[in-house]
């Protein structure tokens, strides 16, 4: 079953519901993700901003009180190349970004591309 496209208004409403420092950090992370992979589609799922590729969840932006997490759904596959990834469990890992601090655009870009590459390899 095809899902309807989410309107940009829903994405804007997501950002309107958070504090200014969360909005700034979140939008900077989103900009870095979409600059690397404009084909990813941002959607609001589970109260978070999730970036999908052909309907598969790849990345999620989760805004907590003290920091933002960039969650990588297939992060366990990227641990060898990205020691910054934290977390435990079957597959998901995350990187934390503190509010009011500049984000590491290069890290976000490299994580985004590596996640897409790992996703592509898993389809074969």
Rg (CA), the chain: 14
Q: Supply the pLDDT for residue 1.
A: 44
| Residue ranges of domains in the chain, CATH in brackets | 8-123 (3.90.1150.200)
Residue 65 vs residue 123, higher pLDDT: 65
Query: b or e along 79-116 (b: 16 or more beta carbons within 10 Å of the residue's beta carbon)?
Result: eeebebbeeeeeebbbbebebeeebeeeebebbbebbb
What is the pLDDT, as a whole number, of residue 8?
80
- What is the sign, positive or negative, of the torsion defined by CA atoms of 1, 111, 103, 71? positive
Q: What is the pLDDT of residues 12-63, one digit of tens each?
A: 888 999 999 999 999 999 999 999 999 999 999 999 999 999 889 999 999 9
């Amino acid at each position: 079953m095809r899902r309807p496209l989410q309107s940009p208004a829903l994405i804007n409403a997501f950002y309107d519901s958070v504090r200014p420092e969360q909005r700034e950090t979140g939008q900077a992370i989103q900009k870095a993700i979409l600059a690397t992979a404009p084909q990813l589609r941002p959607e609001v799922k589970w109260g978070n901003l999730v970036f999908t590729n052909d309907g598969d969840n790849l990345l999620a932006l989760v805004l907590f009180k003290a920091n933002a997490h960039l969650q990588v759904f297939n992060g366990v596959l990227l641990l060898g190349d990205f020691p910054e990834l934290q977390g435990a469990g079957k597959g998901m890992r995350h990187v934390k970004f503190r509010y009011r601090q500049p984000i590491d655009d290069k890290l976000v870009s490299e994580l985004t591309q590596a996640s897409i590459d790992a996703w592509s390899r898993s389809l074969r």
